[in-house]
Chain A
Amino acid sequence: MEGYRRRRLVDRLMTGLTFLATALAVLFLISVLGYVVVQGLPGLNLDLFTSTPRPVGEPGGGMATAMVGSLYLVFLACLFGLPLGILTGVFLSEYGGRWLAPLARFVIDVLTGLPSIIVGLFVYAVVVRPLETFSALAGGLALGILMIPTVARTTEEMLRLVPLDLREAALALGIRQWRTIVSVVIPTALSGIVTGSILAIARVGGETAPLLFTAFGNRDWNFDPLQPTAALTLQIFTYAISPYEEWHRQAWAGALVLMVAILGLNIATRLAARGHWRPW
């Protein structure tokens, strides 16, 4: 029994420590959420959603262009990132090959950790410079590139969960591999693929850095893919570092809207994943 008391003490101490660490972590996160809510609520009004930005000094104005701009950018990003990501996932899971798939998987995993500003720089160099203009297209492209790793890897994982049985059953009916993938394998894994896609959207929806020198921002409405476009995160950034009280207020309100939107997407993800696992 030598050291019994010490071992028991260490055990209890460590149990307490992990609990404390968890409580602290949750506290920080809740504080962030709470702070944004408290700071953002006063600036929240209808104008924020319906008005375009006003020049400094003029009261009122809102972030309508920025919100729509963000949606537009995410839409362009999906147009580019979802097909590429999903098809890559299909390749990794269903075709692969001996060395190509492991290599591609490695590159994709490295890309997952790539700082987003570097993607922005890359798009600046290969799209913005040659076209000689900041543009929605460049912004959407940057976000789309950032989506690819998440979408590709979740698609691959979800397709791998589909039993080999089903693929064999389809092939044994004389159905070709591509038809088998499209009509049997993907529908079986669909909720997982949707989940991965929404997660990827939620991830890039809050990006600022890659938009700084691609979409650039715009005070007016723009739906021309070859013109600079406003984005919620960009406007929050611009307003937050400005010296004007009114803009600060709007920046907090914009941040609250962004946070709620991303939170909503995450909840949607859980709903889409229901049936596979229940988080509550």
Chain B
Amino acid sequence: MTTATRTPKGIRVERLNAGYGRQQVLRDITLEFAPGQVTALIGPSGSGKSTLIRCLNRLHEILPGAWVRGKVLLDGMDVYAPGVDPALVRRRIGMVFQRPNPFPTMSIFDNVAAGLKLVGGYDRRRLAEIVEQSLRRAALWDEVKDRLHQPGTALSGGQQQRLCIARALAVGPEVLLMDEPASALDPASTLRIEALMRELCREVTIVVVTHNMQQAARVSDYTGLLLPGPDRVAELVEFGPTSQIFTTPRDRRTEDYITGRLG
């Protein structure tokens, strides 16, 4: 528990249904996120991609009226089994959001240390080690090592997003969820984040939501396509190795979607 580095773990999703109140968003999603790989989830806006990954770390349930049925098995353990503490699930499955969201009242250092500090039990030297290590892993260390005590919000958008990645990594997750992590960034920052994903997937399983198909093709090993059905409830249309999805899709709708005729 004390080391910031863990081995990547897989997640298996079985017959997952989710929604808000009477509105169902996802229907019968079954797929597997392979350990140490980058899996991209693509689909049009409103196809439940974000809802799906928010079900993986039990963040979906914090919204009013949210419900989930089905199984999410992290390395074989059902995160929805009774008695499972969502806070502990979230320490094993980290998350990076669409808009960079460093804590505005905290310095760069404190942002990265937040996940450890606010839980307690780490001495200052150990914290400093983990912060440096996490910033290095997020390819941000060289840019911020001389100003660790400046506010995190003083960084550029791309740097802020890497700060958020470092913050997530510091807790030592086995899976990292990324919800359109580059959609609010400029092209250069986007490429840095993508390169980072290829680096990081050796240590942490990555699930990335994107509406950018080129990005999915560039960074992912596996791709899943979600599309809303006639009743607007999203289903997993096709899932497979990225090269196969983009070159020889089996489902007609996949071909229509990636060639731009759908969605």
What is A's interface to B at a CB cutoff of 8 Å?
Answer: 163, 165-176, 179-180, 183-184, 187-188, 190
Complexed CA–CA distance, A180 and B103 (Å): 11
**Are B115 and A163 in contact (CB-based, < 8 A)?**
no
Report which of B91, B97, B99 forms a contact with A174, defined as CB distance below 8 A: B91
In the complex, the answer to whether A184 meets B103 with C-beta atoms within 8 Å is: yes
- Closest residue of chain A to B114 (Cβ to Cβ) is A173
B81 at the interface (CB under 8 A from A): no
Does B115 contact A166, Cβ atoms closer than 8 Å?
Answer: no
Having A167-B62, A175-B87, one finds 7 other A-B pairs with CB under 8 Å, namely A166-B103, A173-B90, A173-B118, A173-B168, A174-B89, A175-B114, A179-B118
Measured in the bound complex, the distance between the Cα atoms of B95 and A187 in whole Å is 22
Q: A174-B171, A175-B118 are in contact. Are A165 and B91 (CB under 8 A)?
A: no
Q: Among A172, A179, A184, find the residue whose CB has the most chain B CB atoms closer than 10 A.
A: A172
Q: List 17 A-B contacts (CB under 8 A).
A: A165-B97, A168-B59, A169-B95, A169-B167, A171-B87, A172-B97, A173-B90, A173-B94, A173-B115, A174-B87, A174-B88, A174-B89, A175-B115, A176-B87, A179-B118, A187-B105, A188-B104
Given A169-B97, A169-B101, A169-B164, A174-B119 contact (CB < 8 Å):
yes
Give the chain B neighbours of A172 by CB distance below 8 A.
57, 59, 90, 94-95, 97, 168
**Nearest chain A CB to B141 CB, angstrom units:** 20
- The interface residues of chain A lying within 8 Å CB-to-CB of B62 are 167-168, 171
A163 touches B101 (CB 8 A): yes
Nearest residue (CB) in B for A162 is: B104
Query: Across the A-B interface, how many residue pairs have beta carbons closer than 8 Å?
Result: 69
Contacts of B59 in A (CB 8 A): 168, 171-172
Tell me whether B105 and A188 are in contact (CB under 8 A).
yes
Contacts of A175 in B (CB 8 A): 87, 114-115, 118-119
CB distance from A97 to the nearest CB of B (A): 10
Contacts of B91 in A (CB 8 A): 173-174
Give the docked Cα–Cα distance between A187 and B90 (Å). Answer: 23
Taken together as a complex, chains A and B put the C-alpha atoms of A190 and B97 apart, in Å, by: 24
With a cutoff of 8 Å between Cβ atoms, the chain B residues found around residue A166 in the complex are 101, 103-104
- A174-B90 Cα distance, complex, nearest whole Å: 5
Q: Known contacts A168-B62, A169-B164: does B115 contact A174 (CB below 8 Å)?
A: yes
Q: Determine the chain B residues whose CB is within 8 A of the CB of A171 once the complex forms.
A: 59, 62, 87, 90
How many angstroms from the CA of A171 to the CA of B90 in the assembled complex? Answer: 8
Chain B residue contacts of A169, Cβ below 8 A: 95, 97, 101, 103, 164, 167
Tell me the nearest residue of chain B to A182, going by C-beta.
B118
- What does the 1/0 interface line of B112-128 toward A look like (CB < 8 Å)? 00110011000000000
B105 — which chain A residues lie within 8 A by C-beta?
184, 187-188, 190
B114 lies within 8 A of A170 (CB)? yes
A180 to B95 alpha-carbon distance, docked (Å) = 16
Across-interface contacts of B119 in A (CB, < 8 A): 174-175, 179
Beta-carbon nearest neighbor of B62 in chain A: A171
A249 to B198, CA, bound (A): 81
Chain A nearest Cβ from B175, distance in angstroms: 12
- Nearest-CB residue, chain B, relative to A174: B91
B101 touches A173 (CB 8 A): no
Question: Chain B residues with Cβ under 8 A from A188's Cβ?
Answer: 103-105
CB distance from B185 to the nearest CB of A (A): 16
* Chain B residues with CB under 8 A of A174: 87-91, 115, 119, 171
Identify the closest chain A residue to B111 (Cβ): A169
In the bound complex, residues from chain A placing their C-beta under 8 Å from that of B171 are 173-174
CB distance from A76 to the nearest CB of B (A): 31
Q: Complex formed: what's the CA distance from A174 to B168 in Å?
A: 10
Give the residues in chain A near B57, CB-CB below 8 Å: 172
* Docked pose: A146 CA to B134 CA in angstroms: 49
How many whole Å from A191's CB to the nearest CB in chain B?
10
Q: How far is the CA of A64 from the CA of B115 in the complex (A)?
A: 51
- How many whole Å from B99's CB to the nearest CB in chain A? 6
Q: When chains A and B are docked, how far (Å) is the Cα of A163 from the Cα of B59?
A: 16
A173 in contact with B167 (CB, 8 Å): yes
| Residues in chain A near residue B168, CB distance under 8 A | 172-173
| B89 CB contacts on chain A under 8 angstroms | 174
Quick check: A165 and B99 within 8 Å, CB to CB?
yes
For A179, what are the chain B residues with a Cβ–Cβ distance below 8 Å?
A: 118-119
Chain B positions within 8 Å of A167 at CB level: 62
